[in-house]
Structure 1
Amino acid sequence: MPAISTDLFKKNFTTTPRTISAEVRAFCQRISPDQTPAYVPVSEDAGVLPSECFNNVASKVERDGGTLLYGWLIWEWPRVFVEAEHHAVWEHDGILTDITPHVNGERQVLFLPDPMRPYDFATQKRLINIKRSLGELPSVGGWIAATNKLHHAIEANSVGNQFTLERSYLSAMGQEIRNALGLVFVDLAKTTGPNAPCFCTSGRKFKKCCGPMIQIYP
Structure 2
Amino acid sequence: MRVEPGAVFRYCFQAVADKVARDGGACVYGWMIWEYPGFLVEGEFHAIWQDPAGALVDISPKPDGEQLILFLADSTRCWNYRPTPSVRLPLSMDQRVLNTIVQAVATDWLRMKYWDGEEARIPPQAHLEFMKDPISNFLRTGRNDSCGCGSGKKFKQCCLPMIQKCL
Aligned match of 2:50: 91
The letter of the residue matching 2:71 is F
2:77 is equivalent to residue 117 of structure 1 = yes
Structure 1: 5+ residue stretches without partners: 1-41, 178-218
- Offset of 1:176 from its aligned partner? 6.6
Structure with the bigger RCO (C-alpha within 8 Å, sep 6+) is 1
Against the structure 1 CA distance between its residues 175 and 106, is the aligned structure 2 distance closer, same or farther, given a 3 Å change threshold? farther
The letter of the residue matching 1:53 is C
Aligned match of 1:19: none
Residues 157-196 of structure 1 correspond to what in structure 2 (within 5 A)? 157-173=114-130
- Offset of 1:82 from its aligned partner? 0.2
- Offset of 1:136 from its aligned partner? 5.3
2:18 is equivalent to residue 49 of structure 1 = no
Indicate if the aligned counterparts of 2:39 and 2:97 stay in contact, CA closer than 8 A.
yes
SS in 1 for 2:64: coil
Query: Deviations 1:77-132 (Å, cap 9, x if unpaired)?
Result: 00000000000001121211100001000011110100210001xxx202101100
Indicate if the aligned counterparts of 2:106 and 2:131 stay in contact, CA closer than 8 A.
no
2:107 is equivalent to residue 150 of structure 1 = yes
Counterparts of 1:175 and 1:76, CA distance in 2: 27
- Offset of 1:146 from its aligned partner? 1.7
| TM-score (structure 2 length as normaliser) | 0.73
Q: Which range is displaced more, 72-81 or 141-150?
A: 141-150
- Offset of 1:134 from its aligned partner? 0.7
SS in 2 for 1:89: strand
- Offset of 1:149 from its aligned partner? 1.1
SS in 1 for 2:69: strand
Aligned match of 2:148: none
Counterparts of 2:55 and 2:99, CA distance in 1: 39
Indicate if the aligned counterparts of 2:39 and 2:90 stay in contact, CA closer than 8 A.
yes
Aligned match of 1:102: 62
Counterparts of 1:88 and 1:118, CA distance in 2: 9
Indicate if the aligned counterparts of 1:146 and 1:176 stay in contact, CA closer than 8 A.
no
The letter of the residue matching 1:57 is V
Aligned match of 2:33: 74
- Report how many residues are paired: 133
Superposition RMSD on alpha carbons, in Å? Answer: 1.8
Counterparts of 2:133 and 2:67, CA distance in 1: 33
- Offset of 1:152 from its aligned partner? 0.6
